[in-house]
Amino acid sequence: MFGGVGFMINGNMCVGTWKGSLIVRLDRNDYRRMLAEPHAKPADMNGRTMRGWVRIEPAGVATENDLAVWVERAVVFTESLPAK
Protein backbone atom coordinates (compact mmCIF):
# COMPACT_ATOMS: atom_id res chain seq x y z
CA MET A 1 0.00 0.00 0.00
CA PHE A 2 1.26 3.53 -0.77
CA GLY A 3 4.09 1.99 -2.79
CA GLY A 4 5.91 0.74 0.32
CA VAL A 5 5.86 -2.04 2.88
CA GLY A 6 2.85 -2.11 5.19
CA PHE A 7 1.83 -4.09 8.25
CA MET A 8 -1.74 -4.93 9.11
CA ILE A 9 -3.60 -5.92 12.28
CA ASN A 10 -6.91 -7.75 11.80
CA GLY A 11 -7.15 -6.46 8.24
CA ASN A 12 -6.45 -2.82 9.16
CA MET A 13 -3.32 -1.03 8.03
CA CYS A 14 -1.19 -0.11 11.07
CA VAL A 15 2.27 1.06 10.01
CA GLY A 16 4.24 1.19 6.82
CA THR A 17 7.04 2.82 4.91
CA TRP A 18 6.73 5.53 2.32
CA LYS A 19 9.57 7.32 0.54
CA GLY A 20 12.06 6.63 3.33
CA SER A 21 9.73 7.60 6.16
CA LEU A 22 7.59 5.62 8.57
CA ILE A 23 3.84 6.15 8.35
CA VAL A 24 1.73 5.34 11.38
CA ARG A 25 -2.00 5.13 11.91
CA LEU A 26 -3.22 7.02 14.95
CA ASP A 27 -6.48 8.14 16.47
CA ARG A 28 -7.77 11.16 14.54
CA ASN A 29 -8.47 12.86 17.87
CA ASP A 30 -4.71 12.73 18.63
CA TYR A 31 -3.67 13.90 15.16
CA ARG A 32 -2.73 17.51 15.98
CA ARG A 33 -0.97 16.51 19.20
CA MET A 34 1.10 13.90 17.37
CA LEU A 35 2.08 16.41 14.67
CA ALA A 36 3.63 18.52 17.43
CA GLU A 37 6.14 15.73 18.10
CA PRO A 38 9.66 16.10 16.68
CA HIS A 39 10.05 14.75 13.13
CA ALA A 40 6.30 14.14 12.73
CA LYS A 41 4.67 15.49 9.58
CA PRO A 42 1.29 15.12 7.91
CA ALA A 43 1.06 11.99 5.78
CA ASP A 44 0.70 13.74 2.44
CA MET A 45 0.42 11.13 -0.28
CA ASN A 46 0.73 12.82 -3.65
CA GLY A 47 -1.04 15.99 -2.59
CA ARG A 48 -3.69 14.33 -0.43
CA THR A 49 -3.24 14.65 3.33
CA MET A 50 -4.47 11.53 5.11
CA ARG A 51 -5.88 12.51 8.48
CA GLY A 52 -5.25 9.90 11.11
CA TRP A 53 -1.91 9.06 9.53
CA VAL A 54 1.38 10.68 10.49
CA ARG A 55 4.65 10.48 8.57
CA ILE A 56 7.75 10.17 10.75
CA GLU A 57 10.94 11.39 9.14
CA PRO A 58 13.97 9.07 9.38
CA ALA A 59 15.53 11.10 12.21
CA GLY A 60 12.41 10.40 14.29
CA VAL A 61 12.98 6.65 14.17
CA ALA A 62 16.77 6.65 14.26
CA THR A 63 16.98 4.47 17.37
CA GLU A 64 15.19 1.26 18.25
CA ASN A 65 13.47 3.05 21.11
CA ASP A 66 12.22 5.87 18.85
CA LEU A 67 10.84 3.34 16.39
CA ALA A 68 9.24 1.26 19.16
CA VAL A 69 7.40 4.29 20.57
CA TRP A 70 5.74 5.11 17.22
CA VAL A 71 4.95 1.50 16.38
CA GLU A 72 3.41 0.91 19.82
CA ARG A 73 1.18 3.97 19.44
CA ALA A 74 -0.02 2.70 16.07
CA VAL A 75 -0.54 -0.86 17.33
CA VAL A 76 -2.61 0.28 20.33
CA PHE A 77 -4.88 2.35 18.09
CA THR A 78 -5.17 -0.19 15.28
CA GLU A 79 -6.02 -2.99 17.71
CA SER A 80 -9.00 -0.90 18.85
CA LEU A 81 -10.52 -0.95 15.34
CA PRO A 82 -13.05 -3.57 14.27
CA ALA A 83 -11.58 -6.40 12.22
CA LYS A 84 -12.14 -6.29 8.47
Parallel, antiparallel, or unpaired for β 48-56 and 21-25? antiparallel
- Sheet of strand 48-56: strand arrangement: 6-9, 12-18, 21-25, 48-56, 40-45
Closest-CA residue to 56 (of 25, 28, 10): 25
Q: Is residue 45 part of a domain?
A: yes
Local confidence pLDDT in tens for the 84 residues of the chain: 566 789 999 999 999 998 899 999 999 999 899 999 999 999 988 888 888 999 999 999 999 999 999 999 999 999 999 999
Residue 52 in contact with residue 26, Cβ under 8 Å? yes
**pLDDT for the residue numbered 4:** 79
**pLDDT for the residue numbered 2:** 60
Per the structure, the count of domains in the chain is 1
Tell me, what CATH number does 20's domain have? 3.90.1150.30
Q: Is residue 84 part of a domain?
A: no
Q: Is residue 39 part of a domain?
A: yes
Residue 52 structural domain = 6-79
**pLDDT for the residue numbered 70:** 97
**pLDDT for the residue numbered 51:** 84
